[in-house]
Amino acid sequence: DEDVLFALAHQKYKAGNYKQALDHSNAVYEKNPRRTDNLLLLGAIYYQ
């Protein structure tokens, strides 16, 4: 479930859908706040 949400977040980010990417990435963060790949993605989303 967490991996699926992260994959969706990454896919949305690559497509330029930053709001949707942020929603999915935040859901991953709520489940596992120490997941480093998600933290990097969150940083990239906020950078945009």
Q: How far apart are CA 34 and CA 48, in angstroms?
A: 22
- pLDDT score at 42: 99
Predicted confidence at residue 32, as pLDDT, reads 98
Question: Do 38 and 11 touch, CB atoms closer than 8 A?
Answer: no
Q: What is the DSSP letter of 35?
A: -
Of the chain, the percentage scoring pLDDT greater than 70 comes to: 100
Model pTM score: 0.93
Q: Check residue 2 and give its pLDDT.
A: 96
Give the CA radius of gyration of the chain: 9
What pLDDT score does 45 carry? 98
Helix (H, G, I), strand (E, B) or coil at 34: coil
Helical H runs in 1-48?
2-14, 18-31, 36-47
